[in-house]
Amino acid sequence: MNAYAILAQLLELATALVMAPILVGWVNQCRAWMQNRSAPPLLQTYYTLNKLFHKEVLLAHNASSLFHSAPYIIFSCMALAAAIVPTLSTDLIFSPAADAIALVGLFALARVFIALAGMDVGTAFGTLGARREMLIGFLAEPALLMVFFTASLISQSTSLSTIVETLAHKEIAIYPSLAFAGVAFTMVSLAENARVPVDNPTTHLELTMIHEAMILEYSGRHLALIEWAAALKLFAYSCLGIALFFPFGIPEASDPLSLTLAAIILVVKLAIGGFLLALIETLSAKMRIFRAPEFLGTAFLLAVLAMLVHLLLRA
């Protein structure tokens, strides 16, 4: 525990807040290029956020206090989640306090509040979206936990910092179980971030939307906070993927030089990750909502297989 650890933690939080909208912009840009459309600017998400923050908040007559407070809770959950994931350094002040399971809990807390807020006003779409979100959530959560457990079995700890240190700084070894877990994690993050095979983030088509249906009633700064939180969630999941499966280049120390180097590596990795996400989204078609349980069931199965394979091959 030193001043640098606090600095690294603050820097990481700031990086997450600043980079998350850019990451979303980058994914949208890549997607537009691949689909032969003219791309929106990289900072488009910032312009949207800025516009929304300056707009007036319109509320339904029967909106309760839960509806007002939900955006703030969701935003703080996601900001905290993004701060827990080690991106710039593994020497963080949060790392002894919050491990991978706490992270899943944070995501679950945000999900409960967004679903409740969706149901609060009582419109049909909000309820529909909330129910679908909970369906996806209850299937995705165990799979995500299993992915974490696989990484924990390898490193003998559920603390994310220890996992990253074990995977990144030990002698190079190939973990087949991590390959399974990686595929499972990709499927879970597509579902959790409302991406194409499960949900389409750009459409407002009644029958298919999940995430957008829940936030239809929000406007102004509330909507801005929720949009920003969604960007933060995508950022947190991308960083988790990097931390678990491509941790090379995340330093253990947190002196200014290694932090700078880590930041450059992070940007490069995120750019590649965002490009791959856009590629997946372009290549796959959105599936029917009733296929989603099968999709997430497969993710769960792969994650369980990862654990089994690890137990078998360890000998």
Which amino acid, one-letter code, is at 171?
A: E
Which part of the chain contacts other proteins (CB under 8 A), choosing from 9-17, 58-66, 166-174, 263-271?
166-174
Which listed residue (174, 207, 257, 285) binds other proteins by CB under 8 A? 174
Which part of the chain contacts other proteins (CB under 8 A), choosing from 90-98, 200-208, 255-263, 296-304?
296-304
Which amino acid, one-letter code, is at 9?
A: Q
Which part of the chain contacts other proteins (CB under 8 A), choosing from 91-99, 201-209, 221-229, 301-309?
301-309
Q: How far is the CB of 313 from other proteins (least distance, A)?
A: 5
Q: How far is the CB of 277 from other proteins (least distance, A)?
A: 21
- Radius of gyration of the CA atoms of the chain, in A: 19
Q: How far is the CB of 306 from other proteins (least distance, A)?
A: 9
Q: Give CA angle at 106 (104, 108), nearest 5°.
A: 70
For 291, which DSSP code?
Answer: G
Query: Taking the mean position of all CA atoms in its chain, how far away is CA 17?
Result: 13
Query: Which of 244, 215, 227 is CA-nearest to residue 87?
Result: 244
Tokens 């409740």 belong to which residue?
Answer: 116
For 252, which DSSP code?
Answer: S
Query: What mask of x and - would describe binding to other proteins in positions 178 to 207, judged by CB under 8 A?
Result: -xx--x------------------------
Count CB-CB contacts under 10 A for residue 145.
17
Which listed residue (28, 95, 177, 254) binds other proteins by CB under 8 A? 177
Task: CB nearer to other proteins: give 1 or 173.
Answer: 173
Q: Which helix (H) or strand (E) holds 214?
A: helix 211-214
Q: Provide the binding-site residues for other proteins, judged by CB under 8 A.
A: 172-174, 176-177, 179-180, 183, 293-294, 297-298, 301-302, 304-305, 308-309, 311-313, 315
